[in-house]
Amino acid sequence: MAQTDKTEQGMAEPDVTAEDTAARNTTAQDSSAHDTNASDASAGDARASDPRAQHTTASDTPAHDAPPPNPPPPAPAAGGPGPVRMPRWLPRAMVLALALYACFQLGSWAFHQLIGLLINILIAFFLALAIEPAVGRMSARGMRRGLATFIVFFAVFVAAAGFVFLLGSMLAGQIVDMVEGFPKYLDSVIRWINDTFRTELSRVEIQESLLRSDWLRKYVQNSASGVLDISATVLGGLFKLLTIFLFSFYFAADGPRLRRTLCSLLPPAKQTEVLRAWEIAVDKTGGYLYSRGLMALISGVAHYILLEILGVPYAPALAVWVGLVSQFIPTIGTYLAGALPMLIAFTINPWYALWVLGFVVIYQQFENYVLQPKLTSKTVDIHPAVAFGSVVAGTALLGAVGALIAIPAVATLQAFLGAYVKRYAVTDDPRVHGHRRSGGGRALARLRGLLRDRDTRESGDEEDAASGTSGTDDRP
């Protein structure tokens, strides 16, 4: 019985054990599933917070669930170049370059707009330098600089007005003579044409055809419109002259104040150099105008005497023309100035034109070799080639104004070079004086050297003999 109970108990234990085992397995599966879900949730949270985890999870999913994304860019190697970034200074540099370019364009535009005013100021400055010696002498005698400057400018204005009046009267007289004598000239031309070409032209028919022609009508219309342009040009020229005179008046009257203002901006060492340069410019510019004005006066008087002797009309105006043009246009000014009186003298008598030409040539030689060296030796001494080149350069740069101020500017520059450039003594080489050494010259020089050495030896022997004789006489 007992055994049977044990057997039944043993038979029942497996059943209980199997059920328990199944229950335990079910519980274990549920717990494992719960753990798996928890781990999946935690992994999902981690992937949500970490993009790389999301990328890894997405890449681990099968191909049929989601398409594979693009591969990530490779990470830069340690120590390799990173991503290129714009330097911080580049935007500032670009802004600065644009600002400089804009300033340059603005300055260039302003310079082109003010170039006329700057040229007028330059002319006024040279004119003030030219009259500075006269103003300085008058102010040194107790006269105020403003009054002295006004007197000098008044004298210059009177001289210029007289020159313009003389030339204007001469031109007006010539025009009146041409208008009055035009019918006679036309009759002579018509008569020559009729005799030469067997025609029957008359002055009345020619005048009527000219009056009815369209060419004359258009010419009159263009001339009427050109009068306005000429008037505007004349007014502009008068305004420029007024500007030049005003600036030159202030430069001359307030010269000491201008120098003080300029020197106050410089250290003492530079102030001395500026004052020295100022004095050189005043001496050279004033000396140039003084010497040229004096030679123009002498030339005008000489040519006036000749023209009066020959009976050439408008002798005073022609004399002033010759004097000014011949002196202020170097090298070729004399021949340009002599052309006008030659033409007017030719209308009176062809031989008078030859007399004028001969006198112009002879006076030019007298001026070049006698008069000019004495007057310009202490003021302005410039080589004729340098003077002519400076006038050509000044004309190319500033026109007629450049031709007038070219020689004073070159004289000032030459004075600067003479004051600051060091010079050395020239050797006695014949090639310096333009003589070439030849074989005979070298032989002659060698012979002279031998003769000099022989004379030296003979003089040395005589001195030795004299010293020996004196030594013998001095013995006891």
Looking at the structure of the chain, the number of domains it has is 1
pLDDT on residue 476: 37
Residue 355 domain flag: yes
Residue 331 has pLDDT above 90, yes or no: no
Q: Name the least confident of 19-28, 194-203, 294-303, 320-329.
A: 19-28
Is residue 388 within 8 A of residue 330, CB to CB? The reply is: yes
**pLDDT confidence of residue 107:** 93
pLDDT tens profile 138-172: 999 989 999 999 999 999 889 888 888 888 887 78
The tens digit of pLDDT for each residue in 93-145 reads 999 999 999 999 999 999 999 988 888 898 888 889 888 888 988 999 989 99
Which pLDDT does position 38 carry in this prediction?
46
Which residues have a Cβ under 8 Å from the Cβ of 390 and sit 6 or more positions away? 382, 406, 407, 409, 410
Q: Is residue 270 situated within a structural domain?
A: yes
Give the closest residue to 171 by CA, choosing from 307, 311, 317, 312: 317
Flag whether 340 is in a domain: yes
Residue 274 within a domain: yes
Question: What is the phi/psi pair of residue 282, to 5°?
Answer: -65, -45
Mean pLDDT over 268-284 rounds to 83
Closest C-alpha among 264, 255, 254 to residue 282: 255
pLDDT at 398 exceeding the cut of 90: no
Mean of the per-residue pLDDT values of the chain = 75
Residue 374 lies in a domain: yes
Q: Which residues contact 18 (CB under 8 A, 6 or more apart)?
A: none
Name every residue whose Cβ is closer than 8 Å to that of residue 139 and which is 6 or more positions away in sequence: 145, 148
> Percentage of the chain with pLDDT > 90?
15
Say what percent of the chain tops pLDDT 70: 70
Q: What is the mean pLDDT of residues 361-372?
A: 85
Domain that holds residue 323: 266-421
pLDDT at 27: 53
Q: Structure pTM? A: 0.59
pLDDT of residue 82: 58
Distance CA 287, CA 380 (A): 6
Q: What is the pLDDT of residue 9?
A: 43
In a domain, 131, yes or no: no
Residue 369 included in any domain: yes
- Quote the pLDDT of residue 458: 66
Rounded to the nearest angstrom, the gap between the alpha carbon of residue 124 and the centroid of all alpha carbons in its chain is 18
